[in-house]
Structure 1
Amino acid sequence: MSTEVLEKFGGYVRVRVCGIAVEDDRILLIRHKALFEDGPFWAPPGGSLEFGESIPQALVREFNEETQLQVRVGELLYVNEFIRSPLHTLEVFFRVFIESGQLQLGHDPEFQQQIMEEAAWLSWEELQALPDAQVHSVFRKYTQLSDLLRPGGYGLQ
Structure 2
Amino acid sequence: MFLLIKEYMTILGLNYTKLNIETKQISHRGISINTTPKILNVTKTQIQAGKNQIPIVVIDFSFTSQFNPKIANLVINGNIVFQPKDESKTIDSWKKTNKLPREEEVEIINYLFVKITPFALFLSEIFRIPPIIALPKIELKQEKKEEVKK
The TM-score normalised by the length of structure 1 is: 0.25
Q: Which has the larger radius of gyration?
A: 2
The TM-score normalised by the length of structure 2 is: 0.25
Query: Which one scores higher on RCO, CA 8 angstroms, separation ≥ 6?
Result: 1
